[in-house]
């Protein structure tokens, strides 16, 4: 099944071409040109992965990452970055980024990371569902 991806970048041209290339690889892509727009979209839609530029005007990658993880903890976020320092990478991973990719990105490497993110998300959702079933069964005394 196709991966559903939210692509977030303030560079409109990058967004357009990357989205076309990802769609050509069978992905279903929604785009957002700011972190605020991305936050509004994830309130209404669900995704297998978010691919997000780390540095954007107004709300930077770290702030956006925190806000998305608070709203949707199960979402897998792959950060695109120009230059990632070790400190920033560690901080972002602690907050919940699932992966990093340096710009200019290799589309095949990105597609692999998105597939991996989808599998991880499905595992989290499965675990949550299992837990819910266990809780319900416990309530009924089984």
Partner 1 sequence: MAPDKNIETGITFLGQILASATHEIKNHLAIINENAGLLGDLSLMDPMALAPDRTNGISLKIAEQVRHADLVLKRMNEFSHSVDLCDQPVDLEQTAAFVIKFGSRLIKMAGIEIKLMPAPSPLMVSTHLFFLEYLIWQPINACIDNPKKIKQLGISFESSSSGALIWFSAKNENRLLNPFDTPKNKALLEHLGICPQIKNNNRDLGLLWPCPDE
- Alpha-carbon distance 13 to 122, whole Å? 31
Helix (H) or strand (E) holding 7: strand 4-8
Task: Find the shortest distance in angstroms from Cβ 82 to partner 1.
Answer: 4
Question: In sequence order, what are the beta bridge partners of 49?
Answer: 5
Q: Is 101 in the site for partner 1 (CB under 8 A)?
A: no
Binding mask 55-94 for partner 1 (x = CB under 8 A): xxxx-x---------------------xx-----------
Q: Is 141 in the site for partner 1 (CB under 8 A)?
A: no
User: Per DSSP, which regions of 68-113 are E strands?
Assistant: 77-81, 99-102
Q: Which is nearer to partner 1, 54 or 121 (CB)?
A: 54
Binds partner 1 by CB under 8 A, chosen from 2, 11, 26, 90:
11
Q: b vs e for 70-109, b when ≥16 Cβ sit within 10 Å of the residue's Cβ?
A: eebeebbbbbbbeebeeebeeebeebebbbbbeeebeeee
Q: Is 130 in the site for partner 1 (CB under 8 A)?
A: no
- Alpha-carbon distance 140 to 121, whole Å? 29
Going by C-alpha positions, the residue among 74, 79, 69 that lies closest to residue 9 is: 79
Q: Which is nearer to partner 1, 18 or 29 (CB)?
A: 18
Pick the piece of the chain touching partner 1 (CB under 8 A) from 37-45, 49-57, 66-74, 129-137: 49-57
**Residues found near partner 1 in the complex (CB under 8 A):** 11, 13-14, 17-18, 20-21, 24, 55-58, 60, 82-83, 103-105, 107
């Amino acid at each position: 099944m196709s991966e559903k991806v939210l692509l977030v970048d303030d560079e409109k041209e990058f967004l357009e071409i990357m989205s076309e290339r990802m769609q050509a690889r069978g992905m279903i892509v929604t785009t957002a040109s700011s972190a605020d727009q991305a936050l509004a979209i994830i309130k209404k839609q669900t995704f297998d992965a978010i691919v997000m530029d780390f540095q954007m005007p107004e709300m930077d990658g770290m702030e956006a990452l925190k806000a998305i993880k608070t709203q949707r903890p199960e979402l897998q976020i792959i950060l695109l970055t120009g230059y990632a320092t070790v400190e920033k990478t560690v901080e972002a991973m602690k907050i919940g980024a699932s992966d990093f990719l340096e710009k200019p990105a290799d589309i095949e490497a990105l597609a692999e990371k998105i597939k991996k993110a989808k599998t991880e998300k499905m595992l989290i959702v499965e675990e949550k569902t299992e837990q819910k079933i266990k809780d319900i069964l416990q309530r009924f005394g089984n």
